[in-house]
Structure 1
Amino acid sequence: MARNEIRPIVKLKSTAGTGYTYVTRKNRRNDPDRMVLRKYDPIARRHVEFKEDR
């Protein structure tokens, strides 16, 4: 099915070194590069950058 090719599931891993991850989907056509989002890390108890982990 085309759904998995266009919008794959990606893991976002915390750069704080806590090992906390978020799981999301991304549009590969609009964002071909790796995703970097600033989200909340409950283990570090602050907002940090989360980078796409393949």
Structure 2
Amino acid sequence: MARSALRPVVKLRSAAGTGYTYVTRKNRRNDPGRLVLRKYDPVLGRHTDFREER
């Protein structure tokens, strides 16, 4: 099955500036803007916001 352009792979970079990233997929219909998720940053040792990078 082919990968859909509706669910692209996006890179989430830590808003704290540590340079740590996560890679995930998002649904463009549900989240047309930039995705912001609160995830664990192991460099900081706590949870912080991760913003979508294009």
Structure 2 stretches of 5 or more lacking a match?
Answer: none
TM-score between the two structures when normalised by the length of structure 2: 0.92
Query: Percent identity at matched positions?
Result: 68
The number of aligned residues is 53
RMSD across aligned C-alpha pairs, in angstroms? 1.1
Report Cα offsets for 1:1-54 as digits up to 9, x if no partner: 561x10000000001111000000000011101000000000010000000000
Considering fraction of residues, name the structure with more helix.
Answer: 1
Gaps spanning 5+ residues in structure 1: where? none
Counterpart of 1:15 in structure 2 is 15
Normalising by structure 1, we get a TM-score of 0.92
